[in-house]
Amino acid sequence: MDRRQQKTRTAIFESFSGLLAEKRYNQISVQEIIDRANVGRSTFYAHFETKDALLHELCTDLFAHVFSDHLMTERTHDFSSARDDPHAAITHILYHLRDNRKNMVGIMTCESGELFFSFFRQYVDDLLMDQMFPKEERGKLEIPYEFLRNHISGSFVHMIQWWMKRGLKELPEELSDYFMAVTRPVLGMQGRKYG
């Protein structure tokens, strides 16, 4: 993607995020997004097929680096050396949510939150579950893997919602500790050990 395309994409994201902070997702029109972003309708559709696709891409953009195989040091945190540690991965996700709270509040304060969390949950499944239960170990589990995945990722998503409603009062490390404390018994039952 060239610099001009990236600039347009950023303008659309910022426009959409601003509108999400002001009104309900179903009340936002593509016309409002392009007016605020100062781009043409054909330009918008060259980047995004629908408003839902825009929301999906905004979520992907927010979390792409967190779920990347090549983590880098960031302004507020550094998890570049903790790739295979579920506790560190959770803390990293929480830092990123906190650092992007302006966008997150707009996304999650209306019905778009449900759509966001369905996208987000896919990322959680991919990252956390692969680390907690590598593919080669899934056949040895006492509980069906699909059940565990649903339980753990669902619990994580509900924790994020709880944290956001509380105004992100807890530190990312603190919340990560809470999550691991309630998840550890489930993992322990399956013969997995995490500190």
Instruction: Please tell me what DSSP assigns to residue 5.
Output: H
Pair 76, 148 in one domain: yes
Which amino acid is present at 117?
F
Whether residue 36 has pLDDT greater than 90: yes
The total domain count for the chain is 2
Confidence band of 76 (pLDDT split at 50, 70, 90):
low
Domain range for residue 44? 3-48
Q: Are residues 162 and 73 in the same domain?
A: yes
Q: Are residues 131 and 72 in the same domain?
A: yes
pTM of the model: 0.70
Structure-block tokens of residue 159 = 């924790």
CA angle 148, 151, 157 (to 5 degrees): 135
Report residue 22 as tokens.
Answer: 């002001």
Both 177 and 114 in one domain: the answer is: yes
Domain match, 91 and 137 both: yes
CB 151 within 8 A of CB 141: no
* C-alpha separations of 195 from 39, 87, 132 in Å: 50, 8, 12
128-187 pLDDT, tens digit each: 777 777 778 778 888 888 888 888 888 888 898 889 888 889 999 999 999 989 887 776
| 3-class state of residue 67 by DSSP | coil
Q: Choose the weakest-confidence range: 37-41, 44-48, 185-189.
A: 185-189
- 30 shares its domain with 117: no
